[in-house]
Chain A
Amino acid sequence: MMRFWPFVAFAVLAGFLYVGLGLNPHEVPSPLINKLAPAFTLPQLHNPAKQFSSQDMKGKVWLLNVWASWCVSCREEHPVLMALSRQNIVPIYGLDYKDKNEDGEAWLRNGGDPYTMIASDTEGRIGIDYGVYGVPETYVIDKQGVIRYKQIGPVTHQSLRETILPLVAELQAK
């Protein structure tokens, strides 16, 4: 029996390392999950004279998608958001992060605009409040204004199907 111990120890170690291979070190769990989403008021991208306030969203389940025209993965994500907005399941609000207004608008003219409304966070301050560290990021916020889920990196058809949409349906039913 004793001679199997080294093999068992090796198998356990190999198991840990194998699991580690599949983990993404860039995915840092957000401490904001199940906390109130930080309130903000920012100028609207399409109409900078007007403000968008996150307080106005009370009573609705909504997605806050952090994007930018300079963000490469946002290109990958964009068609997914376009498809989602056509389904009219949940409103998508955009936060144009550290971007020039004209760049952001040009980007939307090219690929289409899936957003109900977009707030421009030119200096990235609201981004810091939300713990944004890699665009794109998407927050699912419930009727009480609590963050229920954060998608780090692009939203995909798979993540919509498996995580985001079931969660949205559950939150809307509440």
Chain B
Amino acid sequence: MKHLLILLFCLLPTYSYAGEAKDLAEDPVLEKRMIVLAENLRCLVCQNESLASSRSELANDLRREVREQMKKGLTDQEIIDYLVSRYGDFVLFDPPVKSYTLLLWYGPFALLLIGLAGLVFQLRKRKKTIPENQLSAEEAQRAAALLNPPKDL
């Protein structure tokens, strides 16, 4: 009985065989290049998803478009330019520096500078409003007594 069981266990691996998942794309190299490109592009339907990960119909069509343009031998930049010419800078996850994106790119630094300027201004003003007091001779003596108490106490 025990031997039979062992024999059965030996057969188990032959049943657990599963084929390796087949690549859906005809050309895995091109598919990889398409995915890398599409990861930096925004899907217009589900706006926070990339073109690579979105399952919307439009994303499907756009991936097909990108694949076809790659087959035609267009460079990545040319394909990006094509999509931008159709859908605008919105398709780029990384917005380019342009006149109307200046605030987006440099606004935070401007705010930082304004904050720093405000801080410096405040500190200077405080220095003026709280002048350092000069101690009279008597006060100096008292302070010295407090700071350096006699040893024998």
Question: Which residues of A are at the interface with B, using a C-beta cutoff of 8 A?
Answer: 25-26, 28-32, 98, 123-125, 127-131, 133-134
**Is there an interface contact between B61 and A131, defined as CB atoms closer than 8 Å?**
no
Q: How large is the interface on B (under 10, 10 to 19, 20 to 34, 35 or more residues)?
A: 10 to 19
Give 14 A-B contacts (CB < 8 Å), ordered by A residue: A28-B88, A28-B90, A31-B85, A31-B87, A31-B89, A32-B86, A98-B57, A124-B61, A128-B62, A130-B86, A131-B88, A133-B44, A133-B87, A134-B45
Provide the residues of chain B in CB contact with A134, threshold 8 Å: 44-45
> CB-nearest residue of chain B relative to A32?
B86
**Is there an interface contact between B88 and A26, defined as CB atoms closer than 8 Å?**
no
Question: Which residues of B are at the interface with A, using a C-beta cutoff of 8 A?
Answer: 44-45, 47, 57-58, 61-62, 65, 84-90
Q: Which secondary structure characterizes the binding site on chain A?
A: loop
Provide the residues of chain B in CB contact with A129, threshold 8 Å: 86
| Residue picked from A28, A32, A133, most chain B C-beta under 10 Å | A133
**Is there an interface contact between B61 and A28, defined as CB atoms closer than 8 Å?**
no
With contacts A32-B85, A124-B61 known, what are 6 further pairs, Cβ within 8 A? A28-B88, A124-B58, A127-B61, A130-B86, A131-B88, A133-B87
Provide the residues of chain A in CB contact with B85, threshold 8 Å: 31-32
Q: In whole angstroms, how far apart are the Cα atoms of A131 and B83 in the complex?
A: 8
A17 to chain B, nearest CB (A): 16
Contact pick for A25, options B45, B47, B58, B89, CB 8 Å: B47
Given contacts A25-B47, A133-B45, contact A31 B61 (CB under 8 A): no
Contact pick for B88, options A31, A98, A123, A127, CB 8 Å: A31
